[in-house]
Structure formats: C-alpha cells, structure tokens
Amino acid sequence: MDVSAAILKRTSIRKWKPTPVEKAKIEKVLEAGRRAPSWGNTQPWRFIVVQDKARREAIAQAAGGQPHLNAPVLIVCCGVIDDLSQKQHRAALAQLRDMGVMDWTDEILDNVVLGSDLFAPYRLGEPVMTVKAGEQVMIAAAYMTLEAVNQGLGTCWVGAISTRDVHKAMNLPDSVFVHDILPLGYPDEDPKPRPRKDHSKIIFWEKYA
C-alpha cells in the first residue's frame, strides 16, 4: 500500500477482533514511529507495548475506562525531555555532523545553534522542552497509525487521558511523561471516512485570506 492510500484509508477504530496481533506487525508499526522526523535528531520518544490483559485493564481504568482501550495491544507513547537537554541535543547534532548531514564546526554548533533560543529548547526551560518533546511524540504516533493501516491493523489516537494516572499505573520514572495511547489491533468495524473541512477553509496560497 502506498502512503497516499494509507492516508485515505486510515480512520479511528474503536471495535476490535480478539485476534492476537503478530509480533512482526507490531515491530513494523514501531519502526515507523522510530523513523519519524525529530527536532535535531533528538528522538525524545519512548514506546511501551502492553499486551498483558491485567496491565491493559489497569491502563484503561487510568484512562477513564474508555471502551476502545480493550484492544489486544496498547502502545503507550511517552516523551523524555532529557533528550532535549543541552548535552543530549549536542550529541544528537554531532551525530548528524559526523554522518555528513551537516558541516557545522564546534563553534557553530555550540555558539550559534545551541546558543540560540530558536534552535535550542533547553534554553527556554522545561515547559518548552516538554512541548517540543510532545510534538515529536505526536509525529511518531501519526507515522505509526499509517503503518498500522499498511499492516491491515487499526488504531485510535487516544489523548483524552489522565497522563498522571497512566504514568502511575505504568510505574514510570519521573524522567518520562505519558503523551498518548495507541490501541492497536484487527478492526471489527469498517467506519466511513470522517468529514473534513473543505480545502478553501484550511488551505491558503502565498497569504492568509
């Protein structure tokens, strides 16, 4: 399936067949997330795959008991703001430089890039770092939803959760924050495509009008 077809076919699934999801398919979905673009190659995402029934039920309860979280697989998508620290950000950028992606000198890397509020979120503090990490987790989640379609699976992006309660249910360290949950499984429904706003309402050429 090409990307355009997956984009058009993807829709939120909330009913699941009890069929177990093959590990190879789960890994392909995760690989799509791993390949997503990230700020300065920092890759501040962590994906926790939960298949154990008791753990899935605990997560669902922590997320308000939403029924569509009864999928055979839950991917808890988390962020790590430490990956956007000066040290980790520099290491990620240096890796790109060493691969020949960028030709920055140490002076440019340290004084221009990492010395700029525009390019270095750590300079603006933890709240901004959390936002930037969350943005990247969301991009990775979007990639995973498309690969799920390619694998004949369904997902539903679940962001209406108590991240604190899910964090507690998963017994996660303080350095990790919960961003969203992706239930994953074989669809037991074939919903119609959701309505989308007309192009004229959301797309503008050259200037906003």
Exposure pattern of 144-176 as b/e (b: 16+ CB <10 Å)? bbbbbbbbebbbbbbeebebebbbebbebeeeb
User: Which amino acid would we find at residue 202?
Assistant: I
- Tokens, residue 108: 């440019």
Any residues with CB less than 8 A from the CB of 140 and at least 6 apart, and which? 33, 34, 36, 38, 45, 47, 77
Q: Is 162 helix (H, G, I), strand (E, B) or coil?
A: coil
- Tokens, residue 83: 């990956």
Give residue limits of the domains in the chain. Answer: 3-84+125-190
Whether 50 contacts 74, CB under 8 Å: yes
pLDDT at 193: 85
pLDDT at 174: 94
The rounded distance, in Å, linking the Cα atoms of 161 and 150 is 27
Any residues with CB less than 8 A from the CB of 174 and at least 6 apart, and which? none
Any residues with CB less than 8 A from the CB of 176 and at least 6 apart, and which? 46, 78, 79, 80, 167
- Low-confidence residues in the chain, pLDDT < 50: none
- Alpha helices, H only, the chain: 3-9, 23-34, 53-62, 86-98, 106-107, 126-150, 163-170, 199-202
pLDDT at 1: 84
The C-alpha torsion from 35 through 11 and 13 to 183, rounded to 10°, is 20
Return the CATH superfamily for domain 3-84+125-190.
NADH Oxidase (3.40.109.10)
pLDDT at 209: 85
